[in-house]
Structures are given as C-alpha cells and as structure tokens.
Amino acid sequence: MLKAVGEAFSVVGAGAKLWLKHWPVLLTIALLALAGRMGAQWAALRLSDIYNTLGWLALVFGPLSAVTGIVLMLYTLRHSMPALTRAADTTAPEDPLRHRERRLIDMLASVLVPFLAVYASYGFLKEDLFRFYNSLYGEEYAQADFFSGELSDGSRFEIGTGWVLPVVIVSAVVLKFGLAKLEGRKSGWGLGLLGAYVEALWLAAIATYLTIYKDIAWDWVESRRGVEMFVDGWEAMLSKLGPFADVVDAVGSFAINVAANVDSLIIVPIAWLTVGAVVYGHKLVEPSPPPQPRLLRMVPGPVRRAGLELSSEVTERFHGLFGGLRQLAVAGLAPMLMFVVAFLASKRLEDGLNELARWIIGPQSASQYLAFTPHITIFTRAIGLTVTMCLLAAAVERVLATGGAVRDDEEETERTRQPA
C-alpha cells in the first residue's frame, strides 16, 4: 500500500517537472488543437449551406484536430523521459500491408478508439453536435420568411440513418484498405493523411451513434416496470428503517453515483493510458500474445491462412490497440491505479481554474458572461489538458518500464556483456 502511494507521488512529481519544463509548447499545441476543433464546427456550418453531407464530413475534423494535438504533445515530452526516449529510438517492425517500417499514422485506429472513448465521456461529441445543431437552427430561423411561407426544408439537419450508416462505414473501410495497398507502392504522407481522415470518419460516425443510442437505451431501462418496482421497494424499505433511513439512503446514493460515473472513474483513465501506450509503444515488440485456441489449431492450414489474409487489414489496424492493452496488463494494476488517482486530481484543477476566472471577471450580466464563457472554457481546458498529458507521459513511462517493454541502460549493458 505504501509502495503504491509512493509510486503515485513519484508520477505526480515527474509530471510536474515535465509541465514546468514544457508548458509553453504544450499550451500552444493545446490551444491550436482546440481552436482547430472550433474551426471544424464553423466549417461544417458553412459547408452544410452548400450541401448537407459536406457539413458532416467537415465536422469529423473536430476530434481529428484534438487527437492530433494530443499526439504532438506526447511527442514533445518523449525526449524528457529516458524510457520513452529509448522507445522512440527503436526500429519499428515492418508493416505487412505497406512493406515498410510501421509508423504511428498507420495505427491511427488504435489511437482513435480509446481517444473517442475519452472524447465521448467528456461530453465533447454531444457538445459538437449540440453546437452544430444550435447554429443551424439559428441560421435557418433567421433566414426563414414566415409571412411568405418560405420555410426551411430541414435538409441541412439530415445525416445518414438506417441503411445509409452501414454503407458509409463499409465504403470507408474498403477505401482505407485500398489506400493502404496503394501506399505500399507509392511513398509520401499524402495517402497516409487521407487514410487517417477516412479512418476518423467511420470511427467518429460509430461513436456518435453509440452516444445517441446509449441515452435512448438508458431512457428505455428507466421506463421499465422492474426499475419502478425496485424504486418503490427501496422507498418502502427506507420508511421502515426509522432513524437509520438517512444513513442507508446516503450509502445507496453513493453506490449509485459511483456506478453511474464508472466511465469517469475507470474507463477514461484506462483509455488515456491506452492512448499513451500506443503512441509511445507502437515501435516496440508487444508481449507475446496468448496461444491460439485448440479449436482454431484444428482448422486446416490453407483455410486458416486464407482467413488470416482476409482479416489482416482489420487486425493490423487495431494491432497497436491490442498491444497497448497487453502492455497495461503486463505492467499490472499498480501503474494504472496511480494514474487514476493523479488523473482525478488533475480534473479538479480545471474546475478550480474556471472558478478563479469567474472570480476575476466578477459579476456580469448573463449576456456578457455568455460572451466570455467559450474563451475561458477553451483556455482552462487547454491548461488541464497539458497537465493531463504530463501525468500521462510519466505514467506510461512507468508502465513500459514495469512491463519490460524497454530496458534500463544498466540492464541492457549487463545483458550484452553476457556470453551468448
């Protein structure tokens, strides 16, 4: 227990040193990334007036700008941490589709999946959609001529639903596969960047729909008769407990709040660690995967090879994600717990900065304060993001070192001295 507490403080100390050393660069990158996110919403609004699909295609640049800023901040910090420096200097394995050294952009899906979990848990996906819809409503109602009957047809609000969404996703996956094959024949970053956008397009579409349908599913659960019976039974039990009712009710409310915020307490910190493990460890040889199930080994060789070839594009795309999760599993529970504690503490920093800004500005009318709010939020969010990235870099270095993915200089020297 004391060792875990000491490691948590060591991560916080290492993160503080990183922030003091790199905060100007980190803050600049964070502000540019958040400005790019807001710029994507502005571009989506303007392009939707030309054609509605163009607006939705531009909206994807919001999360793509955010993840680009995060990767750049993590890259800025890598040379200040010995273990991360050795990981960055390692020669990456060959990409089986492109037949060259594997790059981080080739594994963008492995970064986007945990990042979109963070993005959605923070409410950024809902915020993007709300601002987009709110701006559309404002423009459409401002331009509508109610007296002549010329009203908006609502086409700017439409997005692919039903069978359209699977078609978009399948088309994006096929296009990404073709771009990967073409990139293997032609060098350059152009095809890689186009492939990164296509990757972000279909993953963001899935994440958006999952966010929407999660709320629908939760409303459906709350409307069930079984939930109503449970609530009635709970209230009846409390009424019989007399003076102990308040204590039991407080304990029950605390348990429900913990269960309702499991994404903030567990999923988001682990997703952040996975992002860092993929960014810093994509060049490393992952720990040995578990052996194949006996049933799969019984499949004839030609059939097994054909299946592996057909699925190689998808599995390679998420290879870094699985490798990052294996790194976390090998490192054990202690590094994850110490980052969770440090991460939750850093989240309170952003809330404190917002309160400080309110105190500095002082009492204002509602319209004036709403004019200040977006700028204050971006600045405080950028500061909080820089602190989180420093803590993440310090925690991932401990994860990679604990998991044996990188060796200390003394261990490497001792290993090379031993006879073969």
Span 339-384, pLDDT tens digits: 676 677 777 788 888 888 888 887 878 777 777 787 888 888 889 8
Average pLDDT, the chain: 69
Q: Give me the helices (H) in 78-189, please.
A: 82-88, 108-121, 124-143, 164-185
d(CA 32, CA 343): 23
DSSP state of 89: T
58 pLDDT more than 80: yes
Residue 125 lies in a domain: yes
Residue 324: which of 180, 150, 109, 125 has the closest Cα? 109
pLDDT of residue 415: 43
Residue 232 lies in a domain: yes
- The arithmetic mean of pLDDT across residues 255-273, rounded, is 68
Residue 29's pLDDT band (cuts 50, 70, 90): very high
Per the document, the length of the chain is 420
Domain count along the chain: 1
Structure confidence by residue, pLDDT tens digits, 288-298: 444 455 555 55
- The arithmetic mean of pLDDT across residues 94-106, rounded, is 57
Q: Residue 247 in contact with residue 254, Cβ under 8 Å?
A: no
Residue 419's pLDDT band (cuts 50, 70, 90): very low
Residue 302's pLDDT band (cuts 50, 70, 90): low
pLDDT of residue 410: 42
pLDDT of residue 25: 92
Residue 148 lies in a domain: no
- Among 113-127, 227-241, 316-330, 365-379, the minimum mean pLDDT is found in 316-330
Residue 284: which of 13, 83, 26, 97 has the closest Cα? 83
d(CA 115, CA 67): 7
179 pLDDT more than 90: no
pLDDT of residue 417: 45
Phi first, then psi, for residue 135 (nearest 5°) are -65, -40
Domain encompassing residue 91: 2-142+158-289+299-409
**Which comes out higher in pLDDT, residue 42 or 154?**
42
CA atoms within a 13 Å half-sphere pointing along the CA-CB vector of 153? 4
Residue 151 lies in a domain: no
Residue 86 lies in a domain: yes
Residue 153 lies in a domain: no
Residue 358 lies in a domain: yes
Residue 419 lies in a domain: no
- The arithmetic mean of pLDDT across residues 141-148, rounded, is 59
d(CA 313, CA 176): 9
Could you tell me the pTM of the whole model? 0.69
Q: 242: left (phi > 0), else alpha (psi -120 to 50), else beta? A: left
